[in-house]
Amino acid sequence: MDSLILMGESLCRVDAHVSLHLTVPDAPPAVRAWAERRPEVVLRTKRPERVSGWNIKPWLLLQELNAGSPQALWLDDDIIVTRPVSALLDEFPRESLIVAEEWTSSASAVPVSHFWNLPSARPIPVFNNCFIRVTPAHRTLLERWHQMLHDPRYRDAQALPFELRPVPLCHDGWPLIALLESAEFSQVPYDWIRRGRHIAQCAGSSGYQPHHRVLDLFRGLPPLIHGLGRKPWESPPDPSRLQHFLLDLATDVSPYTLAGRRVAKDLGMNPPWLEVRTLTGAMLRGMTNGHPGMAGLPLAILHAFHRKIGQVTTGSG
Ligand SMILES: [Mn+2]
């Protein structure tokens, strides 16, 4: 709930053209109080039927289109917005479905439409679903995606631990990839916001690379900072001492954590997961004045040369 407030506040603060619709069943008082102070925010507290978690995306997007919105954008709540999203969308064709580039460049295309008995017509690279912009032209695609997320095979796979799920059923993004790949939807234009220039994909110390961080000293932070993978408010089940230290340090200097701290400070919020955990992290924060890109530069450089450290601090495999 802290991260939801930080995402919403950061978005509304920098983008005057946004209308933020939040669906938060049983919203706690802090979320209600914050939403009341922000005229851009529409808070719904009714629990949607039969959809929850990340499977809610097509359902919510369809709701917005059905209500007459000319476009709707899903944004994850583990994102801090630093510049207007509306200006970012203006860089892309009006008719495109827009998603986000994945954090790892090794995310190669795996044909998955066959899994759903759909003929494959074009390869689709693995993308990140933290950002999905749709228009009424994508309504049929969204309906089909929504249906696939109710398929018993998908539902059964979602009940398994993440690492045991078959790839085409791993998360909500794969059925969407299958649809875009299929002959039926191969005419749908799609595009993606770029890693580095548009979004810092902060999977641990990786994903937001050293050269992006240095460039951003001059061109400014990317409009979106996504804290994907392991969350700073979660602790891993049973780490070794070294793992524990690396995870704490990665959290201390995570661009998502540091950008979130700036928003929290302005709001007078002080969630414990934003507090410093290691002496090294405190020093790096101090030396860089808490700059979201620079504090973690040494760790990002280390990660670029040492895959193992990256794997530990990424927390997403
Ligand atoms: Mn996310």
What's the pTM value of the predicted model, to 2 decimals? 0.93
Distance 78 CA to ligand 1 centre (A): 5
pLDDT for 205: 60
pLDDT for 316: 42
Contact 209, 300 (CB under 8 A): yes
Distance 301 CA to ligand 1 centre (A): 23
d(CA 46, CA 27): 10
Contact 207, 103 (CB under 8 A): yes
pLDDT in tens, 146-203: 999 999 999 999 999 988 999 899 999 999 999 999 999 999 999 999 998 999 998 7
Distance 89 CA to ligand 1 centre (A): 19
Question: In the block, which residue shows the tokens 């994850």?
Answer: 76
Instruction: Name which of 243, 167, 171, 250 is nearest 203 in CA terms.
Output: 250
Q: How far is CA 137 from CA 93, 132, 175, 213, 215, in A?
A: 13, 14, 19, 37, 37
Is the pLDDT at 22 greater than 90, yes or no? yes
| Encoded tokens for 140 | 């049929």
Distance 128 CA to ligand 1 centre (A): 9
Residue 58: in which H helix or E strand, if any? Answer: helix 57-66
pLDDT in tens, 223-258: 999 998 888 998 777 778 888 888 899 999 999 999
Contact 263, 238 (CB under 8 A): no
Contact 124, 109 (CB under 8 A): yes
Alpha helices, DSSP H only, in 187-240? 210-219
pLDDT in tens, 43-78: 999 999 888 889 999 999 999 999 999 999 999 999
Is the pLDDT at 3 greater than 60, yes or no? yes
Distance 119 CA to ligand 1 centre (A): 30
pLDDT in tens, 263-279: 999 999 999 999 999 99
Contact 298, 284 (CB under 8 A): yes
pLDDT for 317: 31
Distance 227 CA to ligand 1 centre (A): 6
Question: In the block, which residue shows the tokens 């991260």?
Answer: 3
Distance 161 CA to ligand 1 centre (A): 18
Contact 26, 40 (CB under 8 A): no
Give the distance from CA 272 to its chain's centroid.
22
